């Protein structure tokens, strides 16, 4: 109740994504005081590594994030098990509970699922990684997959896009703002078959390279810190 009253009295309320904007409207905040300013990212302006051109190398799938049931990592495993070409997957992140009602042991269940699906030897559970090491994980991958059920923003999506990784994601957080269907990635539902078909469409390294470059440019134009700071300054000066 205190937060609701404070938000309603504020001259401006900043949210980080269109999805969070809708949540704020449902919360009862006047749309005329709502402003979408996303979180920014530091872009390494040095030379980015070129994506792999080895056509017969296993396609490297990547998930980064806190490993919680709401992230639905099992969908990635179920989709990958349907693939008929060489692939491998890396799951980066430590287990976390997003709700007191959520039982522990999710990572253990994912390991068991991989064993049941017969793909355990293709899936690497890397565990929690320090922030300064994440860039190397993004750069070693070919596709970023994020099958989460709900997100306000999702920083890993932005980090993956900044590293030129084509994205396959559910419609959560900033995914709708980053993904142009078939141009920078794909929006999927919770259907493993649909997810597998989108992965199949990204087998070609040239397609991934083109999509990744488009994503990187989108991040540079909309999520670089210079642009974000300018938007905050414009808002403050308008009040």
DSSP calls for 8-75: HH-S-EEESSHHHHHHHHHHT--GGGEEE----B----SPPPPPP--TTSPEEEEEES-B-GGG-HHH
Q: Are residues 190 and 228 in the same domain?
A: no
> 29 lies in which domain range?
2-39+224-238
**How far is 114 from 117, CA to CA, in rounded Å?**
5
Residues 198 and 231 in one domain: no
- The reply to whether 48 falls in a domain is no
Asked if pLDDT for residue 121 goes beyond 60, the answer is yes
Identify the pLDDT of residue 53: 47
Both 137 and 20 in a single domain?
no
- Least confident among 20-24, 94-98, 166-170: 94-98
Rounded Cα gap, residues 21 and 10, in angstroms = 15
Residue holding tokens 């994504």? 17
Mean pLDDT of 40-63: 72
Q: What's the pLDDT score for residue 83?
A: 97
Residue 206 lies in a domain: yes
Ordered DSSP codes for 133-154? GHHHHHHT-SEEEE--S--SS-
48-58 pLDDT tens trace: 555 544 557 89
The Cα 52–Cα 133 span in angstroms is 20
DSSP state of 50: P
Q: Indicate whether 142 and 100 sit together in one domain.
A: yes
Check residue 5 and give its pLDDT. Answer: 74
Question: What pLDDT is stored for residue 34 in this prediction?
Answer: 92
Same-domain pairing of 144 and 188: yes
- Please check whether residue 95 lies inside any domain of the structure: yes
Two tokens, residue 11 = 């001259």
């Amino acid at each position: 109740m205190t937060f609701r009253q404070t938000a309603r009295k504020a001259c401006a309320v900043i949210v980080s994504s269109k999805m969070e904007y809708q949540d704020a409207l449902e919360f009862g905040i006047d749309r005329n005081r709502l402003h979408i300013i996303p979180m920014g990212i530091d872009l390494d302006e040095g030379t980015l590594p070129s994506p792999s051109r080895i056509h017969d190398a296993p396609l490297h799938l990547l998930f980064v994030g806190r490993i919680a049931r709401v992230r639905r990592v099992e969908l990635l495993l179920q989709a990958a098990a349907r693939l008929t070409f060489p692939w491998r997957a890396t799951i980066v992140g430590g287990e976390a509970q997003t709700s007191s009602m959520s039982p522990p042991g999710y990572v253990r269940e994912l390991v068991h699922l991989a064993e049941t699906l017969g793909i355990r030897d293709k899936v690497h559970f890397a565990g929690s990684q320090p922030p300064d090491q994440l860039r190397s994980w993004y750069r070693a991958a070919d596709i970023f997959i994020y099958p989460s059920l709900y997100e306000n923003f999702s920083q890993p999506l932005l980090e993956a896009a900044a590293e030129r990784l084509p994205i396959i994601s559910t419609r959560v957080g900033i995914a709708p703002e980053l993904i142009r269907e078939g141009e920078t990635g794909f929006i999927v539902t919770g259907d493993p078959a649909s997810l597998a078909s989108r992965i199949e469409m990204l087998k070609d390294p040239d397609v991934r390279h083109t999509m990744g470059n488009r994503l990187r440019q989108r991040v540079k134009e909309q999520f670089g810190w210079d642009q974000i700071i300018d938007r905050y300054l414009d808002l403050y000066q308008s009040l």
